[in-house]
């Protein structure tokens, strides 16, 4: 099957308390694109991202990852294809060591331990955390925790990498490392961010949201002129 695009068709989502967070989102991101998701707090960016790998399912409309519709039944397949890095890395690091956190996904995929080890080492080295295998997450700096969270997704070798405000709370050096790392990921990236510089440097395309809707979808430089 092809995972090589992700498509939203008229997606609506209301939270259980009745908040209508997505009001008809239609959107296609094709393989290898890097797209920034922009907009003020509360406009629906995180809600949209949570639909990319089925953490939320639409109240109405459909999300497809390649030719697979995202439903309860397809979640294992979808989550192999779409790797999601949450806004708060502490939500993703829960094992005793960084190694185990990064190994968690591949082990869950029942890969042989040798392959798990190869993936963990590759991912830790990609994010600059070589040598931190045996540390606990709380022994890392904020930037390193973010890197560990990203490694825990990279180790699953996703086709599509989705990140929610990855550069928030990073110092200049950690932010630079993050941007450089994301540039080396040759698959699809969707990143929600307030970091306009990062959007400009990383993403040729930007999507601007307002109040649960997409109000612009264009080149990042065009969008920059509008806001």
Ligand X SMILES: Nc1ncnc2c1ncn2[C@@H]1O[C@H](COP(=O)(O)OP(=O)(O)O)[C@@H](O)[C@H]1O
The verdict on 58 binding ligand X (CB under 6 A) reads: no
CB 202 within 8 A of CB 191: yes
Phi, psi (rounded to 5 degrees) for 89: -60, -25
Minimal distance, residue 93 CB to ligand X, in Å? 21
CB 136 within 8 A of CB 96: yes
The verdict on 21 binding ligand X (CB under 6 A) reads: yes
Phi, psi (rounded to 5 degrees) for 120: -60, -45
The verdict on 46 binding Mg ion (CB under 5 A) reads: yes
The binder of ligand X chosen from 2, 10, 19, 59 (CB under 6 A): 19
Minimal distance, residue 211 CB to ligand X, in Å? 8
The verdict on 17 binding ligand X (CB under 6 A) reads: yes
Q: Which does 39 bind (CB under 5 to 8 A by kind): ligand X, Mg ion, none?
A: ligand X
Q: Which does 52 bind (CB under 5 to 8 A by kind): ligand X, Mg ion, none?
A: none
Minimal distance, residue 41 CB to ligand X, in Å? 4
The verdict on 15 binding ligand X (CB under 6 A) reads: yes
Pairing of strands 34-38, 20-30: unpaired
The verdict on 42 binding ligand X (CB under 6 A) reads: yes
Q: Which is nearer to ligand X, 46 or 53 (CB)?
A: 46
b/e code 182-197 from CB counts within 10 Å (16+ = b): beebebbbbbbbebee
The verdict on 114 binding ligand X (CB under 6 A) reads: no
């Amino acid at each position: 099957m092809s995972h090589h695009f992700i498509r939203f068709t008229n997606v609506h989502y209301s939270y259980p308390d009745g908040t209508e967070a997505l009001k008809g989102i239609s959107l296609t991101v094709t393989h290898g694109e890097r797209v920034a998701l922009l907009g003020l707090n509360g406009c629906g960016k995180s809600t949209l991202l949570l639909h990319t790998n089925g953490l939320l399912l639409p109240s109405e409309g459909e999300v497809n990852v390649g030719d697979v519709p995202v439903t309860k039944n397809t979640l294992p397949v979808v989550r192999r294809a779409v790797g999601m890095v949450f806004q708060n890395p502490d939500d993703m690091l829960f094992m005793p060591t960084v190694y185990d956190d990064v190994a968690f996904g591949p082990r869950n995929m029942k890969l042989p331990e040798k392959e798990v080890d190869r993936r963990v080492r590759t991912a830790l080295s990609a994010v600059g955390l070589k040598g931190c295998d045996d540390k606990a997450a709380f022994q890392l700096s904020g930037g390193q925790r973010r890197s560990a969270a990203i490694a825990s997704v990279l180790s699953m070798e996703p086709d599509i990498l989705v990140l929610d405000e990855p550069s928030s709370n990073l110092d200049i050096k950690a932010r630079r490392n993050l941007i450089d790392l994301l540039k080396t990921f040759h698959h699809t990236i969707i990143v929600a961010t307030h970091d306009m510089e990062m959007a400009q440097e990383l993403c040729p395309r930007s999507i601007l949201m307002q109040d649960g809707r997409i109000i612009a979808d264009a080149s990042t430089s065009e969008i920059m002129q509008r806001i």
